[in-house]
Amino acid sequence: MRYQWPSETQFQEWTLVPEDRQCEMCGGPRHICDHRHHRFFTLQGPVHLVSKLCRCVNPACGGHHVTVSPPTELNLTMPWWSIGWDVFAWIGHRRFARHWSVPQIRAELCDSYHVVISADAIERYIARYQTMVAARHQDPTQMAQAYQGVADLILSIDGLQPEKGHETLYVVRELRLRRVWFAEPLLSSAAPEVQRLLEQARQWADRLGLPVRLWISDKQEAFVSGIAQVFAGVPHRYCENHFLRDLAKPVLEADSKAKVAMRRKVRGLRSIERDVLAEGPEKAETDGNGVVLDYCAAVRGVLNDDHGGPLQPPGLKMAEALGEIQSSLQRNLATKKGGRHRSACSD
């Protein structure tokens, strides 16, 4: 749908004239025959671009029927776009380098640049941006440049299912440069389909002239047999992510039990604090009772900290922290400077 410009919009007027005014076919002159109007947003405000079009003046020449546009037109924007390349690049960068959401991009474009376009339009530009980036990444010359100085390749393949019931997206990545090589949605995970992707990976590796040192994937049958066939002799490792995922649940369950046990053992903080506070605030300063309260606060903090995951189980962190507090208390006791309540805390 064409963009509806509000009637009060103030445009900068830009005019482009074709520089080459000589007909390529007969060598005669080309004259201006028409104008093309294009209004679009730039980061510097709305632009009204007028491109002068020309053609050969000689009606007998084939060039008479060919309209020539100023070549610089496409450096500013694409046909039918309501934004220039600068806004387009800005959107792509915010989306993919900064991971902004579409509403966030829309609001910032409006607030900072007075570029008012719909969420739908932004989504369409993002899709085009993705297509362009993918095309550029897959460009053989670009790839050859990127892989200069890389000695060998590590490839991985995995199937991602965006939503249940949708076709699976198979992604082939190269891990030396952490680069997605290509991705394709496959309706089935049958061996011939997967093998086609593996053969494509083979071609790409050959084109780069680099040996494949290793394959990494999960243990799906189509991967195991396909890689053995297309990349005979290349080691194939199963990715640790899947092992970790299977281990995560039992690890966290065991960790949670350990936390409960520790909390059951380290108790009585409240009664210690009550005893100290009962002696009055002035004692807290002189008698070192403030230190006791600090220890109690530290222990409570450790017991309440639930942050962590399968690789940093919260129970392990808790055990380490309690151990540190215990040895700190032991050091105090050893120097015999402790107040009378500290031994209670170290229990």
Query: Residue 34 CB, nearest distance to Zn ion (Å)?
Result: 17
Instruction: Name which of 49 and 56 has its Cβ closer to Zn ion.
Output: 56
Query: Residue 94 CB, nearest distance to Zn ion (Å)?
Result: 47
Q: How many CA atoms lie within 13 A of 329 on its CB side?
A: 22
Instruction: Name which of 24 and 305 has its Cβ closer to Zn ion.
Output: 24
Sheet containing 153-160: give its strands across: 179-186, 168-174, 153-160, 212-217, 236-238
**In the structure encoding, which two tokens stand for residue 145, read together?**
């440049």
In sequence order, what are the residues at sequence separation of 6 or more whose Cβ sits closer than 8 angstroms to the Cβ of residue 177?
146, 147, 150
Q: Give me the count of residues in the chain.
A: 347
Instruction: Name which of 23 and 325 has its Cβ closer to Zn ion.
Output: 23
Kindly report the backbone phi and psi dihedral angles of residue 18, in degrees, each rounded to the nearest multiple of 5, phi listed first.
-65, 130
Kindly report the backbone phi and psi dihedral angles of residue 236, in degrees, each rounded to the nearest multiple of 5, phi listed first.
-125, 115
Q: Is 329 in the site for Zn ion (CB under 5 A)?
A: no
**In the structure encoding, which two tokens stand for residue 255, read together?**
């960790």
Instruction: Name which of 27 and 235 has its Cβ closer to Zn ion.
Output: 27
Tracing tokens 């055990």 back to the chain, one arrives at 319
Instruction: Name which of 56 and 153 has its Cβ closer to Zn ion.
Output: 56
Query: What's at 179, amino acid-wise?
Result: R
Q: Is 303 in the site for Zn ion (CB under 5 A)?
A: no
Kindly state the DSSP code that residue 57 receives in the 8-state scheme: S
**In the structure encoding, which two tokens stand for residue 329, read together?**
């208390």
Query: Residue 32 CB, nearest distance to Zn ion (Å)?
Result: 15
Out of 23, 68, 302, 329, the residue judged to bind Zn ion by CB under 5 A? 23
Query: Residue 234 CB, nearest distance to Zn ion (Å)?
Result: 59
Q: Is 184 exposed, middle or buried (0-12, 13-18, 19+ CB in 10 A)?
A: middle
Cα separation of 15 and 17, whole Å?
A: 7
Instruction: Name which of 62 and 268 has its Cβ closer to Zn ion.
Output: 62
Instruction: Name which of 22 and 343 has its Cβ closer to Zn ion.
Output: 22
Instruction: Name which of 58 and 195 has its Cβ closer to Zn ion.
Output: 58
Here's the x/- map for Zn ion, 37-76, by CB under 5 A: it reads as -------------------x-x--x-x-------------
Query: Residue 59 CB, nearest distance to Zn ion (Å)?
Result: 9
Query: Residue 147 CB, nearest distance to Zn ion (Å)?
Result: 47
Query: Residue 61 CB, nearest distance to Zn ion (Å)?
Result: 3
CA torsion angle 236 241 243 249 (round to 10): -170
Which of the stretches 18-26, 128-136, 156-164, 251-259 binds Zn ion when contact is defined by CB under 5 A? 18-26
Instruction: Name which of 56 and 172 has its Cβ closer to Zn ion.
Output: 56
**In the structure encoding, which two tokens stand for residue 299, read together?**
């222990």
Query: Residue 64 CB, nearest distance to Zn ion (Å)?
Result: 6
268: left (phi over 0), alpha (psi -120 to 50) or beta: left
Query: Residue 35 CB, nearest distance to Zn ion (Å)?
Result: 21
**In the structure encoding, which two tokens stand for residue 158, read together?**
């995995």
Q: Is 26 in the site for Zn ion (CB under 5 A)?
A: yes
Out of 25, 133, 150, 190, the residue judged to bind Zn ion by CB under 5 A? 25
Which of the stretches 22-30, 170-178, 251-259, 313-321 binds Zn ion when contact is defined by CB under 5 A? 22-30
Total residues contacting Zn ion by CB under 5 A comes to 8
**In the structure encoding, which two tokens stand for residue 295, read together?**
């220890």
Are the C-beta atoms of residues 180 and 171 closer than 8 Å to each other? yes
CA torsion angle 63 65 69 71 (round to 10): -40
Q: Can you give the binding site for Zn ion, defined by CB under 5 A? A: 23, 25-26, 28, 56, 58, 61, 63
